[in-house]
Amino acid sequence: MAKRKDYYGILGVDRSASAEQIKRAYRKLAKEYHPDRNPDDPSAEQKFKEVQQAYSILSDPQKRAEYDRFGDAAVGQWRTDPRGQRVYQWGSGSAIDMGDLEDLLSAFGGGGGGRASIFDQFFRARRAEPEWETAPSPEKGADEEHRLSLSFEQAVHGAVVTVPLGSKRQGRSQNLEVKIPPGVEDGQKIRVPGKGRPGRNGGPPGDFYLICSIQPHPYFTRHGADIYVDVPVSVAEAALGARIDVPTLDGHATVTLPPGTPGGSKLRLRRGGLPAQGRAERGDQYVVVNIVPPRPLTAEQRRLFEQLHDSDPSDPRSKCAWYKGSTP
């Protein structure tokens, strides 16, 4: 004889559990044993089906009352066996012929009510039910994505943008207002929870993701939270030193160029970069020195440069690894 199923035990609740307690237990177990979360555990699918079956009975007040009174025999299904006989099946494969079941119930009913009344009380017209129906599992709605184009300034300082939701809500299109935090990076996703597609069977809605696409700046380039800008300087400024005006994210600033600054040098402006995600301090700004010789040279400039060349015997390439006089 097949063992009677304990649907309360399957869900881990008392027989006196409220409908809300049963629902919470079901959601927890359905999530725990869902096959998608247990691809390598063959037993998880069977446990998932048992949880579904238990919830389909205990969540229905009428089915629960019949189960409490008669056990799982009261919540089975009618089917036709291979011999063409109408049988009632319940539990783990237990089945009984319709006629035998009516005789059995009339015997338990005793006098007074008759077997017909006992049969009706027990089955509640279950002959009409074609198959077992389990409660559908709540499913989270699908996530939606929207690519958002931001200017360099919006990415630096943050912004509030209005974007269209991908699917209609209540039969009409809707817009969503989203706050973009300062310092977002190209390709970064901003999650707006609960604004995706609606869930199914009572499941929660999906999430809405904005994928940031940052437009290039005319002269700033970005590396993480740091900002770089190329600044041209004259040969004289590089050789003698100078104070030069440079652009920054916050306006303009004056920096000091030390005498003898070589081309490609980087002057650092502390905390002149972008707000870094998850950090209190901003990044830095780097001024990249680009030495620009006069072009074309006047006769006087050529004479002076020739004098400078003749007066300077040093060779700037002498320390290079590939220099002809260096030792490998």
What is the rounded average pLDDT of the residues 170-175?
A: 71
CATH class of the structural domain 220-311: mainly beta
Give the residue-averaged pLDDT of 276-302: 89
Q: With a threshold of 0.75, does the pTM exceed it? A: no
Convert the pLDDT of each residue in 113-159 to its tens digit. 444 444 455 555 444 444 445 567 888 999 999 999 999 999 999 99
Non-local CB neighbours of 113 within 8 Å, separated by 6+ positions: 121
Give the integer Cα–Cα distance in Å for 209 and 65: 46
The two three-digit tokens of residue 84, written as one number: 């063409």
Answer yes or no: same fold for 7-128 and 220-311: no
- pLDDT tens column, 43-93: 888 898 888 888 988 998 988 888 888 776 555 554 555 565 655 555 545
3-state secondary structure at position 162: strand
Q: What is the per-residue pLDDT across 177-195, written as a single tens digit (0 to 9) for each? A: 999 999 999 999 999 999 9
* Domain ranges (residues) in the chain: 7-128, 144-214, 220-311
Work out the burial of residue 312: count CB atoms within 10 Å of its CB; fewer than 13 is exposed, 13-18 middle, 19 or more buried. exposed
What is the average per-residue pLDDT within 190-205?
A: 90
Classify domain 7-128 by CATH architecture. Answer: Orthogonal Bundle (1.10)
* Cα–Cα distance for residue pair 300/5, rounded to 1 Å: 105
At the second CATH level, the architecture of 144-214 is Sandwich (2.60)
Report the C-alpha gap between 212 and 251 in whole angstroms: 25
